[in-house]
Amino acid sequence: EPEVTQTPSHQVTQMGQEVILRCVPISNHLYFYWYRQILGQKVEFLVSFYNNEISEKSEIFDDQFSVERPDGSNFTLKIRSTKLEDSAMYFCATLAGLAGVHETQYFGPGTRLLVL
């Protein structure tokens, strides 16, 4: 069964550094999402992406964050200048987007980001 993949699985970075988290969606999926989960807290929505543009974003997704799909395959989340509070597990999810079909989002395994 096809799966969403994410790289790296773990990343440690210094505060103020830029990080790029990568996601390879399931082939032919059209909708892409990033969520994060700070340790001990709930999974929170960050942003959704469709047709090469952001369709929805949360208040967490400020100017430090950006998403793109540069090569038609990878879907990336960039944090421009990391803060300590960005330490979390980041999940990518994708959805096929077939009209008239009740669908579900498929999640990647996550990237654990630690900002020191």
Footprint on this chain of other proteins (rule: CB under 8 A)? 3-4, 31, 33, 35, 41-45, 48, 50, 55-56, 58, 91, 93, 95, 97, 102-105, 107-110
The answer to whether the beta carbons of residues 113 and 86 sit under 8 Å apart is yes
Which tokens is 99 given? 């009209």
With respect to other proteins, which residue has the nearer C-beta, 72 or 100? 100
CA distance 107 to 76: 15
- 93 or 113, CB closer to other proteins? 93
Query: Residue 20 or residue 89: which is nearer to other proteins going by CB?
Result: 89
Shortest CA distance to 93 belongs to which of 39, 38, 63, 49?
49
Rounded least distance, CB 60 to other proteins, Å:
12
